[in-house]
Amino acid sequence: MEFKVKDPGLAEEGKLKIEWAESRMPVLMLLQERYLKDKPLKGQRIAGCLHVTKETAVLVKTLVTAGAEVSWSGCNPLSTQDDIAAALAEDNIPIFAWHGMSVDEFYWAIDRTIDFTPTLTLDDGADLINTLHQKHKDLAKKVLGGTEETTTGVHRLRAMAKAGALLYPVIAVNDAETKWDFDNVYGTGQSSIDGIIRSTNVLLAGKSFVVAGYGHCGKGTALRARGMGAHVIITEVGPTQALKAVLDGFRVMPMDEACKVGDIFITATGMKDIIVKRHFERMKDGAIVCNTGHYDCEVNLQDLSAVSTKVREVRMSNEEYTLKNGNRIYVLAKGRLVNLAGAEGHPSEVMDMSFANQFLSLIRCAKDGSKLEVKVHDIPEEQDQELALLKLNTMGIKIDSLTKDQLQYRDDYQAGT
């Protein structure tokens, strides 16, 4: 079977959205052109496990343009845009992804991309790499290298490497500054609000908006919610993160207090059981609860079901739980990442740099994979600076540069007051 998507008839719609993304991803398009002739990925077979969105489609087309053969699955059962999947299938990409997959179907799709016997892997959350290592060790040993897109995935891979379980080198794309300091902050900030608004259309201004976790994603979401006039409350377990939130002007309190005052709750921690039974039982009637972390473990829906008498879908990606105490709580995107399961994910402009890092990292794996140490590698600092400069150029923004004299001064440790 060369592909499995929800409806191949959606391809035309998907193609238009992909064109839209291409027009707003100038860095990736520049790199596509730069490597068109040399085709550095020629002979490479790339298995990808990453949200199927219009931006991902541009990355897939870039990999193919650089000579790779590609097989693809989504990295979340609810984040696939079916029209994009149809467009990729029409472009003869072996893609196995549709919105609303079961967990079994999700792993069935990953297995299809492994059947493709990849030489490189591209992952978002490490489910592909983990499946390869758990179930196909023989194939994993033939992989030259891989890349990992997200914070949670990099954590998992660093733990695997520490346990000596990693079988090939992986590049932590998430840890590139031109990824985490843009995608995680500005991307998640905007796309999470987008997901909440598409699923509820509530007014954010004046609402008590509780953000669990003040990491890059939580910080970006808190900033955007404040910009929409919400009264933002932060919950945290990290003293320094909590202190930053206080000094950034946000109220900080434990979830046990925030649950009583919040109108809207969003988790962005990467940790499980952030909102649990005792919180649901003390929430206001009509509270809205969602998550923007990679996995759906942050909002404990088993706990919510245990204190509810009924559940019904009241609008797309929005389920109303009626509690035994008579209150109603609205859960968005079934507790999965609301920005992708409830909307279209981050805007193209910010995915432009995330995916430029993916592309350059896969080229590095193809070229040096066999020589790279089997561990989690960081992106070179020069790549970050080059991509940021490229991005500025595409925005028509010029910056200063140090003179020879200043460069000398910078490195002259004897220069004092």
CA proximity to 346, closest of 135, 50, 123: 50
Cα 205 to the center of its chain, rounded Å? 27
Binding residue for ligand 3DD, selected from 32, 44, 56, 235, defined by CB under 6 A: 56
DSSP notation for 113-163 = HHHT--SEEEESSSHHHHHHHHH-HHHHTT--EEEE-SHHHHHHHHHHHHT
Binding marks (x or -) toward ligand 3DD, 242..281, rule CB under 6 A?
Answer: ----------------------------------------
Q: Which of residues 170-209 bind ligand 3DD (CB under 6 A)?
A: 174, 183, 187, 191
Instruction: Between 255 and 337, name the residue whose CB sits nearer to ligand 3DD.
Output: 337
Query: Between helices 216-227 and 188-200, what is the axis angle to 10°?
Result: 60
CA dist list (Å): 267 to 132, 178, 276, 347, 348: 29, 23, 12, 20, 23
* Nearest distance, CB of residue 310 and ligand 3DD, angstroms: 33
One-letter amino acid for residue 156 of the chain: R
* Nearest distance, CB of residue 56 and ligand 3DD, angstroms: 5
Binding residue for ligand 3DD, selected from 119, 147, 150, 308, defined by CB under 6 A: 150
CA dist list (Å): 51 to 80, 106, 227, 341: 6, 12, 27, 10
Question: Which residues, in sequence order, are CB contacts of 46 under 8 Å at separation 6+?
Answer: 63, 68, 69, 70, 71, 118, 119, 120, 121, 122, 362
Contact range with ligand 3DD by CB under 6 A, out of 49-57, 206-214, 259-267, 325-333? 49-57
Q: Which residue sits closest to ligand 3DD, CB atoms considered?
A: 345
* Nearest distance, CB of residue 10 and ligand 3DD, angstroms: 17
Binding residue for ligand 3DD, selected from 112, 334, 346, 364, defined by CB under 6 A: 346
Would you say 174 and 351 are in contact if contact means Cβ atoms under 8 Å apart? no
* Nearest distance, CB of residue 293 and ligand 3DD, angstroms: 9
Instruction: Between 53 and 291, name the residue whose CB sits nearer to ligand 3DD.
Output: 53
* Nearest distance, CB of residue 266 and ligand 3DD, angstroms: 15
Binding residue for ligand 3DD, selected from 82, 127, 149, 236, defined by CB under 6 A: 149
CA proximity to 308, closest of 279, 281, 290, 289: 281
One-letter amino acid for residue 303 of the chain: D
* Nearest distance, CB of residue 278 and ligand 3DD, angstroms: 29
Considering the rule CB under 6 A, would residue 124 count as an interface residue with ligand 3DD?
Answer: yes
Q: Which two tokens stand for residue 113?
A: 């991309």
Instruction: Between 169 and 342, name the residue whose CB sits nearer to ligand 3DD.
Output: 342
Instruction: Between 26 and 262, name the residue whose CB sits nearer to ligand 3DD.
Output: 26
Question: Which residues, in sequence order, are CB contacts of 300 under 8 Å at separation 6+?
Answer: 272, 273, 275, 276, 277
CA–CA gap between residue 191 and residue 51 (Å, rounded): 14
DSSP 8-state code for residue 175: G
Would you say 358 and 379 are in contact if contact means Cβ atoms under 8 Å apart? no
Considering the rule CB under 6 A, would residue 336 count as an interface residue with ligand 3DD?
Answer: no
* Nearest distance, CB of residue 220 and ligand 3DD, angstroms: 11
Q: Which two tokens stand for residue 53?
A: 């969105």
Q: Kindly determine how many residues on this chain lie close enough to bind ligand 3DD according to the rule CB under 6 A.
A: 18
CA–CA gap between residue 222 and residue 186 (Å, rounded): 11
284 — phi, psi (to 5°)?
-70, 155
Instruction: Between 263 and 344, name the residue whose CB sits nearer to ligand 3DD.
Output: 344
Q: Which two tokens stand for residue 341?
A: 């399961």
Considering the rule CB under 6 A, would residue 354 count as an interface residue with ligand 3DD?
Answer: yes
Binding marks (x or -) toward ligand 3DD, 274..313, rule CB under 6 A?
Answer: --------------------x-------------------
CA–CA gap between residue 335 and residue 319 (Å, rounded): 10
Instruction: Between 354 and 361, name the residue whose CB sits nearer to ligand 3DD.
Output: 354
Considering the rule CB under 6 A, would residue 82 count as an interface residue with ligand 3DD?
Answer: no
Considering the rule CB under 6 A, would residue 351 count as an interface residue with ligand 3DD?
Answer: yes
Contact range with ligand 3DD by CB under 6 A, out of 244-252, 254-262, 343-351, 368-376? 343-351
Q: Which two tokens stand for residue 162?
A: 């520490």
* Nearest distance, CB of residue 113 and ligand 3DD, angstroms: 16
Considering the rule CB under 6 A, would residue 384 count as an interface residue with ligand 3DD?
Answer: no
CA–CA gap between residue 330 and residue 363 (Å, rounded): 44
Q: Which residues bind ligand 3DD (CB under 6 A)?
A: 50-51, 53, 55-56, 124, 149-150, 174, 183, 187, 191, 294, 340, 345-346, 351, 354
